[in-house]
Amino acid sequence: MLGVVVIASVVMMSADAGGSYMAPMRSALATVGYPFQIAASLPAQTVNYLERYFDRSELIAKNNRLKQKNLQLKGRLQQLASLESRNERLRSLLGSAASIDRHVQIAQILSSNPDPYRHRVKLNKGREDGVFVGQALIDAHGIVGQVVSVAPATSHAVLLTDPNHGIPVEINRTGQETIAKGTGRADTLKLPFLPSNADVKKGDLLVTSGLAGRYPAGYPVAHVTKVKHTPGREFLQVTAQPTASLGRGRAVLLVWNRNTSPSHAANSSPSQAAKSKADSSP
């Protein structure tokens, strides 16, 4: 029995990693598991419901509308800090500042992965909304993560703090480029590649450098919380705290920008992207 089970597990894991061969079995088991997921989310939902019950529905609707509007505005504003200092550095070279008027869309977080070693979330926007793999997610305070897989109506995103995630950043004060990696803790990033003589201080703001082409440049990522140099080591041990409220908010913004869009259609507008997709499909 054990032998059979071990071999079956290994075969299934390789099949699962290689593609979608196990999808029928997955969906069958997911049906079994669905009631448990519902039951597990009941306590939190009940609290939410009770909170809302005592409010007036009109107030709620208005509040929600204002919150979304506020989030959108903050999303556009947050680049200013970085643009300001960049302007100072580059004014002589750069004739005009880059436009920060990027297209954004609000997405709700449907669920987050219960496995504490995978920082993933599921969003309620998908291919039909023009979402694409590699698209950046932000919230009111900074970068949240990026989209890793897209289904027709939903998508999955990986958060900055996932241990397998790295993001190219620059230190806003000096312009030093480096990479911030996730640690698996919700409030910590590490910067493992800063040489021991790098100019970095506690409190420094890290912003996206936009170098890898995935994230739009100039969005805040994290604040440096600790800088430690062990004599004899080539690199500093630097940790930083993400500025975005990871794992707390329910809404995030999807950003369409010129650097990251795979097709020209996608960066003009999501609805156009969806339309052109529909046109091209038979």
Partner 1 sequence: MIQNDRVGIFWIAFSISLSLVITLMPLPTSIAAGRPLMYPATLLFWIMMQPTRFGVGVAWLGGLLLDVLFGTPLGEHGLALALAAYAVVRLRRILWTLAPLQQLALLLPIFAGYEFMLFWIDGVMGQSSAMWWRWVPVLTTAVIWPVWSALLERVALMEVR
Residue ranges that bind partner 1, judged by CB under 8 A: 1-2, 5-6, 8-13, 15-17, 22, 25-26, 29-30, 32-33, 36-37, 39-41, 43-44, 112-118, 120, 163-164, 183-186, 247
Contacts of 273 by beta carbon, 8 Å cutoff, 6+ apart:
130, 132, 263, 265, 266
In angstroms, give the least distance from the CB of 197 to partner 1: 28
Strands 136-138 and 143-150: antiparallel
In angstroms, give the least distance from the CB of 154 to partner 1: 13
- Report the candidate in 123, 124, 214 with the shortest Cα–Cα distance to residue 165: 214
Q: Which is nearer to partner 1, 37 or 63 (CB)?
A: 37
In angstroms, give the least distance from the CB of 155 to partner 1: 14
Q: Which is nearer to partner 1, 68 or 111 (CB)?
A: 111
Q: Which is nearer to partner 1, 163 or 203 (CB)?
A: 163
In angstroms, give the least distance from the CB of 123 to partner 1: 14
Question: 56 φ, ψ to 5°?
Answer: -85, 140
Q: Which is nearer to partner 1, 83 or 186 (CB)?
A: 186
Q: Which is nearer to partner 1, 30 or 66 (CB)?
A: 30
In angstroms, give the least distance from the CB of 12 to partner 1: 4
Exposed, middle or buried by CB within 10 Å (0-12, 13-18, 19+), for 69?
exposed
Contacts of 32 by beta carbon, 8 Å cutoff, 6+ apart:
none
